[in-house]
Amino acid sequence: MANEEAIKKEISQRFGMAEESIRVARERRVFCEVGYDAFRGFLEHVCKKMGFAILCTITGQDEGETLSFMYHTARSDGTMLNIKTSVLKSDPRIKTVTDLYPVAISYERELVDLLGAAVEGLPPGKRYPLPDGWPEGQYPLRKDWKPDQLGDMAFPIKGA
Amino acid sequence: MNLFQKIIRWARIKSPWIIHFNTGACNACDIEIVASITPRFDLERFGIQLKGTPRHADVLICSGPVTRQIKDRLVRIYEQMPEPKFVIAVGTCACSGGVFHDCYNVMGGIDGAIPVDLYIPGCPARPEAIIDGVVKLLGTL
Amino acid sequence: MPNITIPIGPQHPALKEPESFIITLDGERIVDADMRLGYNHRGIEKACESRNYIQSLYLLERVCGICSHTHSTCFIQAVEELAGLEVPPRALAIRTVFAELERIHSHLLWLGVAAHEVGFDTLLMYSWRDRELVMELLASLSGNRVNYGMNKPGGVRRDLTKEQLQEIAKTASALEERTKYYIQVASAETTLIERLSGVGTVSHEDAVRLGATGPTGRASNVDQDTRRDDPYAWYHALDFKVVTDTHNDVYGRTLVRLGELMETYKMLRQLASEMPEGPIFVRAPRRIPAGEAVSRYEAPRGEDIHYVRSNGSDKPERVKVRAPTLANLQAVAKMLEDNNLADAPIVIAAIDPCFSCTDRSILIKDAAGDSSKTVSWGDLRRYSIDWYKKKGLDFSGLRI
């Protein structure tokens, strides 16, 4: 697993992260976590200098007090570096990464719609994936959201 | 019924034209619907043609649980069809919501939005089942 | 002349899932394409959080009907990684057999649909007739033509007998003959080549930048294939080439998919003769220990990726699915630029979004003024035929 260990070494040395906080799950899978202030610099480095130029997707999660975003980046040799960062749920502002990864635009729109993140710098466009009449302030992927919060927009369940 | 009505009924049974619409399905039922038009199953031998616009169609073949976004479009397409019109719900999702029945963006079966004449269950409904269903519908006309 | 905006979708040719493309035209050239997606959003990721792993497995199988085995396998691979299970080789090989059979049915489906989009209905009928060979085979191996239900945590549910393996090899060889015929058509039939070449072009740099995956990317010489770069299931033991092409357009995508079919037949014959012996599953726990895993899979359309996070209970904490078409849709907006309106259906179909519906009448609003008129498909088609006649091409004979 020399490849993954080399990645681990480079990240921990360059960004002063403890080597134990970087997890090599198996071959070709490295997971790490970065605070949001250092995130942009970190992402630029892995994208431009370490070859992780493919963004597979962004997974947003509701972790109670914070919203976490995992950026799944990959390299042409098949290795994936999954970078997790978090912001407070009360102020979920993050900057767009579409200048580094143009394909991120759909993934960021998903974060806005489903989790209520506020992504700064997104170009104007239609929302995705929720429908047009969706009420404001309702974020389905948050843990505390239940479909009956839609009030009279909630569908009757057929056959139940 | 008088002779005129008998002629019209004969013409309708001989060749109903269908329009197919996917209301948010996983596409398995849609592929089976298109497969029933291909040489092995050949729905066209009943005089059935797949048309492009609802204004030319007698029968609306629908698949998929109705998602919130598509519900208005479905109703609009139903209204654009001229009378008399029939609706066939293909697949378990179209009948009752299927595996998605309690998902937040899914309304359930198609009969929550428009009246349905024939239900063909299956996940996906086999082309043979679709042909059987369409022939049964023709039999009731 | 003012720019005209035309919506394509949600009910339209070449669109599998209802999607809406708002196309801005200058005459017949497309200057801008705006996408409105989400018609198919069913809330599956949220639903998985309230279902246990086995229920989620069968729910995820129905994310897409054409690549059902893709989503099911990709998910279960992540779950097995979380549970630390060592899946037996025979199960991995059986999964691979189904994966490749699914690739065949998907590519033949695409071939027929693309042919339909350019008005070549004969090829639609031929290729779907051949596709029935694969569907019959899948039904006899797994019980269903689509949504095979082969996977379970720890392995597969059904075994393959020696006779079934021989049947697989025989079907692969029969289809290989038919595919050679299609390759011949694709390389010799001038109308087809003319219709598909130069359409939907994405340069290599744009394909890399916009993240195009699968045959869409490989037609622009992006040499990426998850089966080779990040092997899963039994691919490490199989001998296959990754097919790339330098045409950068829809014609290139056709050639890539046909080439992939030929590779798949070789793989199936290899699997049929080298199927490892042994059990087909290991016992899996009901509760999966806490952790997170990312699984990738080369779906017929591109790279499919699943992220699963478990929390020690029998229900997943978070499941994230990114299907390949979403990655390719960014490239579509680029591809539609500078193409003609009549090419829009085949360009959208070329990324293989799924199956096709048909048309409806269109409301054209004159952007400068307030007048609006309804134009039927027939009028639009006549308009486009006239427009092409002025350029010296006569398409009035093509039936669409």
How much is the pLDDT for A157?
43
Residues C11 and C31 in one domain: yes
| Contact present, C79 and C158 (Cβ < 8 Å) | no
Residues contacting residue B139 through CB under 8 Å, at least 6 positions apart: none
How much is the pLDDT for A138?
83
* B13 contacts chain C (CB < 8 A): no
A residues 129..148 contacting B (CB < 8 A): 130-134, 140, 147
| pLDDT tens-place string over residues A94-136 | 999 988 888 888 888 888 888 888 888 888 877 777 777 788 8
Residues C175 and C31 in one domain: no
Task: Dig out the tokens for C363 from the structure.
Answer: 């409301």
Least confident among A81-90, C35-44, C382-391: C382-391
Give the best-scoring range by mean pLDDT among B45-59, C140-154, C322-336, C338-352: C140-154
How much is the pLDDT for A3?
84
pLDDT at B47 over 60: yes
Residues of B in contact with A158 (CB under 8 A): 96-97, 101, 107-109, 111-112
DSSP state of A68: E
- Asked if residue C398 is part of any domain, the answer here is no
Residues contacting residue A117 through CB under 8 Å, at least 6 positions apart: A60, A67, A69, A87, A92, A93, A94, A108, A111
* Percent of all residues in chain C with a pLDDT value above 90, rounded to a whole number: 38
Its sign, for the CA torsion C395, B50, C249, A100, is positive
- Asked if residue C397 is part of any domain, the answer here is no
**Mean of pLDDT values over C322-331:** 79
Number of domains in chain C: 2
| pLDDT tens-place string over residues C233-276 | 899 999 899 999 998 888 899 999 999 999 999 999 999 999 99
What fold does the segment set A2-143 form as a domain? Beta Polymerase; domain 2 (3.30.460)
Kindly report the nearest CA distance between residue A93 and chain B, in angstroms.
26
How much is the pLDDT for C199?
81
Q: Helix H segments across chain C? A: 44-48, 53-61, 68-83, 89-117, 121-142, 162-188, 190-196, 204-209, 214-218, 226-229, 250-273, 324-336, 344-350, 377-390
Residues C110 and C240 in one domain: yes
Q: Domain coordinates of chain A in residue numbers?
A: 2-143
Least CB–CB distance from B104: residue in C46, C58, C359: C46
* B99 contacts chain C (CB < 8 A): yes
Q: Do B52 and C355 touch (CB under 8 A)?
A: no
**Mean of pLDDT values over B50-79:** 85
How much is the pLDDT for C44?
81
Quote the mean pLDDT of chain C: 82
The residue to which tokens 């949600």 are assigned:
C10
**Mean of pLDDT values over B52-69:** 84
What is the pLDDT confidence band of residue B58, given thresholds at 50, 70 and 90?
confident
Chains A, B: CB contacts within 8 A come to: 38
Name the residue in chain B with its Cα closest to that of C113. B34
Least confident among A11-20, C117-126, C166-175: A11-20
Residue C110 belongs to domain spanning? 44-358
Least CB–CB distance from B107: residue in A133, A155, A159: A155
Residues of A in contact with B104 (CB under 8 A): 140, 147, 150
Kindly report the nearest CA distance between residue A157 and chain C, in angstroms.
14
Other Cβ atoms closer than 10 A to C359: 19
Residues C34 and C48 in one domain: no
* C62 contacts chain A (CB < 8 A): no
Residues C329 and C374 in one domain: no
Residues of C in contact with A102 (CB under 8 A): 209-211, 330
Domain CATH for C107: 1.10.645.10
The pTM of the full predicted model, rounded to 2 decimals, is: 0.86
pLDDT at A152 over 70: no
**Mean of pLDDT values over C27-55:** 78
B residues 2..21 contacting A (CB < 8 A): none
How much is the pLDDT for C377?
54
Residues C200 and C231 in one domain: yes
What is the pLDDT confidence band of residue C307, given thresholds at 50, 70 and 90?
very high
| pLDDT tens-place string over residues C64-83 | 888 889 999 999 999 999 99
The residue to which tokens 């109705």 are assigned:
B66
pLDDT at C88 over 90: yes
- Asked if residue C171 is part of any domain, the answer here is yes
Residues C309 and C227 in one domain: yes
| pLDDT tens-place string over residues C48-57 | 888 899 999 9
3-state secondary structure of A136: coil
How much is the pLDDT for C369?
40
- Strands (DSSP E) contained in B57-106 are 59-63, 86-90
Q: Do C211 and A101 touch (CB under 8 A)?
A: yes
* B121 contacts chain C (CB < 8 A): no
Residues C164 and C253 in one domain: yes
